[in-house]
Structure 1
């Protein structure tokens, strides 16, 4: 397991997972299921960070209160910068903030529109699936490429999610359509106006250093240090960058429940609760 440093619980210290997806975007478990699993795993705090959606928060709240689990409002918000898909994790924001809610409703529409365009490309390639199947697979959640991948697998066009992405849906594959093209600076501003903190998600996946340093100038509060795609070298590397720019640390399992390994990572790829405490100290007091 490449998750050294604080990514695995240390000496009984309280742990948190601040990157989890549910059925409200492209995960397979309900928000309630996630809370139950987090409590059983001994986590002290979680953040449900569905893609461009905060619908899971109110669904998770009652059980989180019952279980004594801290539920931090969160979302993984899409943006594009210089041709790169940039994901911004927002935490501790007012998830009922009117402008934020309007924007996320707009994103939901854009996500469905994007899926329709990808289906159009697939149909031209002889892959006969419909947008209705994808919306049904999303169960009224925020539509994403994993839902298209699931329909492709159901239809026998691919054998696995990884094949769906490599053959059709990945960034360099024939059916790919760009993600939401909002400027990351606008997403960061929106999170800030809703009294939250903004973090760049999984920078090792697709963000060159020069782009990361430009994103920092837009007002990021932190960097996701711990992620399944970050080995110990990458964790150390991004910690150094965060320290250089006086940024906060975050991290989590990026759990979706779609891959076999997801069950291994839930409850084991975590951050120390002290990182959450430091986030709270950075929040602007009214």
Structure 2
């Protein structure tokens, strides 16, 4: 099992999941449904980290409070470095911060434009779907590739979410269009301005060691250690790098609810609440 290092769920550790998506970006559950699910699996703290959106936070707040679950303000922000998509997770920031909100609104506009360009590329390949169908799928949230994948599946062009990515939408596939091209240093600076902490998301997926070292110099506060794409070796590896640079640890299930195996990982790919306490401590002493 690749999750053996999450170190929680045994010996009475309290568990947290700081990487969850909702309908406000490309998840299939509402923020309130996520809180319900978190309560069922015994999570003590969660962060809703929708792509370039903080709309789910206020929607989840009342129920999280009622269920006694700590809701940490979160977001997963897109950036590009040397031609690669880099995702930065923000935590504990002021999500009403005017500059941050303005930037995230701009990102949502860019995401819709990106989807339009993908639809046009698909059309040239004879795969005809409409941008309206995708926007309906996104339910006014941040438009992403999973919404396009869901429409491709609905219309019958692909049989599964993974086929949509391998055939059309993955980063090396013909209909792919690059994500938001903001420099990661600017994203980190913005999270910092809003009094939050910045973490590199799922480094094993697409971040070389050289890029990781460079990102650390931009002022990252931490690294996502626990993620479904990180086996025990990777978790240890990134933990050592984080320790070497005095960085914080984070992690979570990256739950969307639509992918194969998603339901198996919710409540299982978690981190100890002790890591959350260390984040708060860093903020207090900043």
Task: Provide TM-score, normalisation by structure 2.
Answer: 0.99
1:6 to partner: Cα distance: 2.5
Q: Could you tell me which residue of structure 2 aligns to residue 154 of structure 1?
A: 154
Contact map agreement 1:152 1:158 (CA 8 A) in 2: yes
SS of the counterpart of 2:43?
A: coil
1:141-220 correspondence to structure 2 within 5 Å: 141-220=141-220
Q: CA deviation at 1:7?
A: 4.7
User: Hey, what does 1:61 align to over in structure 2?
Assistant: 61
User: Who is 1:283 aligned against?
Assistant: 283
CA distance in 2, matches of 1:207, 1:5: 21
In structure 2, stretches of 5+ residues that fail to align are: none
Question: Which residue matches 1:35?
Answer: 35
The alignment partner of 1:198 has SS state of strand
- Partner Cα separation in structure 2 for residue 55 and residue 38 of structure 1: 19
Superposed displacement of residue 10, structure 1: 2.3
Q: Using the TM superposition, give the Cα deviation of residue 5 of structure 1 relative to its aligned residue in structure 2, in angstroms.
A: 1.6
> Number of residues paired by the alignment?
286
User: Deviation at 1:186?
Assistant: 0.2
**Counterparts of 1:242 and 1:4, CA distance in 2:** 19
**Retained in 1: the 8 A contact 2:199–2:222?**
yes
For 2:24, the equivalent position in structure 1 comes to 24
In 2, the alpha carbon distance for the partners of 1:189 and 1:275 equals: 22
- Show the counterpart of 2:269: 269
Q: Which residue of 2 aligns with 1:134?
A: 134
TM-score, normalisation: structure 1: 0.99
CA offset at residue 62 of structure 1? 0.3
Pair 52,264 (structure 1): closer, same or farther in 2 beyond 3 Å: same
Partner of 2:225: 225
- For the residue of structure 2 that corresponds to 1:19, the secondary structure is strand
Tell me if structure 1 keeps the 8 A contact 2:8–2:14. Answer: no
Counterpart check, 1:74 vs 2:44: no
Deviation at 1:284, TM superposition (A): 4.6
1:193-242 Cα deviation digits (max 9, x unpaired): 00000000000001110001100000000000000000000000000000
Distance of 1:135 and 1:221 partners within structure 2: 34
Deviations 1:101-145 (A, max 9, x none): 000000000000000000000001101101000000001110000
> Aligned partners of 2:69, 2:85: CA distance in 1, in Å?
32
What are the ranges of 5 or more consecutive residues in structure 1 without an aligned counterpart? none
The Cα RMSD (Å) is 0.9
Q: Which residue in the other structure is 1:6 paired with?
A: 6
**Counterpart of 2:94?**
94
* CA–CA distance in structure 1, aligned partners of residues 143 and 6 of structure 2: 33
CA distance in structure 2 between the aligned counterparts of 1:260 and 1:116, rounded to whole angstroms? 26
Structure 1: distance between partners of 2:156 and 2:67: 41
| CA shift for structure 1 position 8 | 3.9
Deviation of residue 9 (structure 1)? 1.8
